[in-house]
Structure 1
Amino acid sequence: MLTLADPKIRRIPLVENGERLISIDGLNARIIVDSSKENAEALGYELCFYIRETVGYKLVEAVLQIPDNYAFLVKESLRPQNLQALWFSDYLRSILEANLELPEGDAVALAARFVAPPSVAGHPTGGAVDLTLCDLRGYELDLGCAYDQDEKTSNGACLSHFDQLSPEASKHRRILFEALGSVGFVNYPFEWWHWSYGDRYWAAVTEHPHALYGAVADF
C-alpha cells in the first residue's frame, strides 16, 4: 500500500490550477456536513466545509450513484496547513516517545499512515474530503469502525480493505467505494473515510503527471 511517507509522493510536481473553493453545504440534499459540536470538539478546531470546485462537482456525481435512502456525511474537508503540521509533529512525537528504539525515518513512515506530512497532505489543498455514509436523517451507518479511529484503536478496521467486517459494514463500504471511485476519487488505504482528487497522492495513484492543487494560503 502506498503511504504518504513514500518519497514518490513528495516528488510529484505541482501545477496549481487556481481553482476556487466552494461550500459543500448546499451542493446536494444528500450531501450533509457534520457541523455538530461533537465533531468540531473531536477534531479540535472550527471546521470549514469548503473544497475545490471540481471536487464538489464530483461529490455530487458520486452521491447520485448510491441508493436513494443513503446520503454522504462529510466529517472534514479543508484544513489549515499550520494545523496539519501541528497534528503531524504531535503524532510523530507520540510514536517516538512510545518506541524509543525506533529510527526516526521508520517513525515518520508509521506516523504518515494516519496523519499526512504537511508537504503532501491533501486536506490543506481543498482536494481531500473525509466522509461516511448516513441515512437521510444524518445518522451514521456501520462501516466497521468509527470515523478517525487509527489502526491501533480500531484493531485494524480503519484499513480500507480490512477483511473481518460484518456483512452490513462490508455492504456499506462497497457502496461508498464504488460511488467515489467511479467519479475519479482515490482512497487512502489506511483510512476508509479519506478520499481525494487533484492532490499529490491522487496524482501518484492515477499516474497523473502533476498535482492540480497546492495548499490554500488563506481561507
Structure 2
Amino acid sequence: MTVLLSDDRITSIPAIENGEPLVDLCTRDLLTTGRQFAREGVADRLALADAFLPVGVRLHIVEGLRPVESQQEIYDGYCAELERLHPGIAEPDVRVLASRFVSPIEVAPHVAGAAVDLTLIGAHGPLDLGTPIDATPEQSDGACFFAATSISREARTNRALLADVLTAAGLVNYPTEWWHWSHGDRYWAYTTNHPTALYSPPTPQTNPPHP
C-alpha cells in the first residue's frame, strides 16, 4: 500500500536543516519553465540525471521551489474539491485523500526546495508520459500514479526511462505523481532509511528572488 505524505511515518521524521543554498536551475544547464529554483544538491542530481538520458531527450523542469502561500492555496483548493465530491467526509479522511496530490504544508517538499515536477522532452516536443503534469487522481482515473497500468506502452516506457535516470542520480518518486521527484525531504528520508530530512522550508533570508 502506498505510504502518503500525510502518514505518521513521514510526518514524524525530523528535518534538520543543513544550510544548503537554493540555486537557479538554469545555472545547471537544465531546461525549465521560467526561472525555477531548488537546493544545490537537488540541482546537481538533476543535472546528472539529464546527462544520463539518450541523445535528443532532456529533462524539462516545470516547477521547483514553491512559495508557502502557493502550497497552501493548492492544498486548500483540492481539499474543497474533495469535500464537494465526498459530502460529509471527515476532515482526517480529506487530509489523507488530499495528500495523494498535494502535500500538507508542514511537510511539503516543494516549499523546502527539495522537490521538482518534471517531464521528458524530445526533438519534437514533450514525450508521452500518460497524463499531463498535475492531473489529479480524479481527473486521470488514477493514471497519474507512477505504476498505473491504464496508460499506453509508450508512456510506460518513458516513465521507466525517467525513473532509471532520476533514481540513478539519487532522487525518489512520490508514487501517486509520476512527475514529482525529490531529494533531501522527509519522503526521501523514509524511502532511503535516512534518519532525518536534510532540508526544511527556507527562511525569507535564504529565498531567492522571483521574477
Instruction: State the TM bucket, normalised to the shorter chain.
Output: over 0.9
1:143 deviates by 0.5
Q: TM-score, normalised by structure 1?
A: 0.89
Structure 2 partner of 1:140: 126
The structure in which a higher percent of residues are helix is 2
1:136 deviates by 4.2
CA distance in 2 between counterparts of 1:13 and 1:79 reads 21
Structure 2 partner of 1:41: none
Unaligned runs of 5+ in 1: 36-47
Say which SS state the counterpart of residue 178 (structure 1) adopts. helix
1:106 deviates by 0.8
Stretches of 4+ aligned residues off by more than 6 angstroms = none
CA distance in 1 between counterparts of 2:14 and 2:134 reads 29
Unaligned runs of 5+ in 2: none
Pick the aligned partner of 1:179 from 140, 159, 165. Answer: 165
Structure 2 partner of 1:109: 96
CA distance in 1 between counterparts of 2:23 and 2:152 reads 36
What is the one-letter code of the residue matched to 2:33?
A: D
1:207 deviates by 1.1
1:123 equivalent to 2:110? Answer yes
CA distance in 1 between counterparts of 2:74 and 2:131 reads 21
What is the one-letter code of the residue matched to 1:89?
A: D
Alignment of 1:50-69 (within 5 A): 50-69=37-56
CA distance in 2 between counterparts of 1:4 and 1:15 reads 18
1:166 deviates by 1.3
1:80-118 deviation digits (Å, cap 9, x = unpaired): 012212221221122123322211111110011101100
Structure 2 partner of 1:207: 193
Structure 1 partner of 2:150: 164
Alignment of 1:69-84 (within 5 A): 69-84=56-71
1:7 equivalent to 2:1? Answer no
1:9 deviates by 1.0
Q: Identity, % of aligned pairs? A: 38
What is the one-letter code of the residue matched to 1:143?
A: L
1:119-165 deviation digits (Å, cap 9, x = unpaired): 1110011110000000146x211001111111111122111000122
What is the one-letter code of the residue matched to 1:58?
A: R
